[in-house]
Amino acid sequence: MRSMTLVEIEQIRTECRALVAKRAMASGALAVVPIPGFDVAADVAIMKQMIEMINDKFALTPSRIQQLDPKIKQRIFVIASSLGSTLVGKYMTKELLVLAFKRVGVRMASKQAAKFVPFLGSAIAAGISYGAMRMLGNAHIEDCYQVLKAMHADGRTFEHDVSDETAARNTQ
């Protein structure tokens, strides 16, 4: 166990951006499938997994936060709340997934409507799906990054297990 440096936090941010790009590509590819509702179910699964992986990489999972000193735990949630984040350090419940989808709701509705356009509809839906998933993932990365950066600035860094981080990288 050791504290993360700003350089390590920035590296995690970069790694997470690559992870989001991969997940967004998968979301875009699945949007092409012409089965109604299939892409929405796939997006929910992709988003849930992506948010949990980002939280894990930043050592902001609910289980890790619960192990922290109460003052540090409180500070994390205050910072996250001030950023407007509802996903940092939380278990992905159905309610949180609905809140996350509200951030990209118009895009998701547009994606479904685009599928009715002959020929180009699927390509438009894929582009919208890719963009929405990427926007959501990158916004969550920035929230996690800002939480750790603020904790570091406060001098309240906390330890994370490097072996957990390595295991998370290997699951990509």
Asked, for residue 42, whether it belongs to a domain, the answer is: yes
CA pair distance 111, 129, nearest whole angstrom: 7
Whether the pLDDT of residue 71 is over 90: the answer is: no
Residue at 28 is within a domain:
yes
Share of the chain above pLDDT 90, in %: 27
| Mean of per-residue pLDDT scores for the chain | 79
| pLDDT reported for residue 54 | 95
- Flag whether 49 is in a domain: yes
Mean pLDDT of 51-62: 92
- Reported as a single tens digit per residue, the pLDDT across 137-147 is 999 999 999 99
- Structure tokens belonging to residue 20: 């989001």
Give domain status of residue 98, yes or no.
yes
Q: What is the pLDDT of residues 21-47, one digit of tens each?
A: 999 999 989 888 777 678 778 888 898
Domain assignment present for 106? yes
Full domain range(s) for residue 110: 2-153
65, pLDDT greater than 80: yes
Global pTM reads 0.77
Per the structure, the count of domains in the chain is 1
Highest mean pLDDT among 18-22, 70-74, 78-82, 115-119 belongs to: 18-22
Q: Is residue 159 part of a domain?
A: no
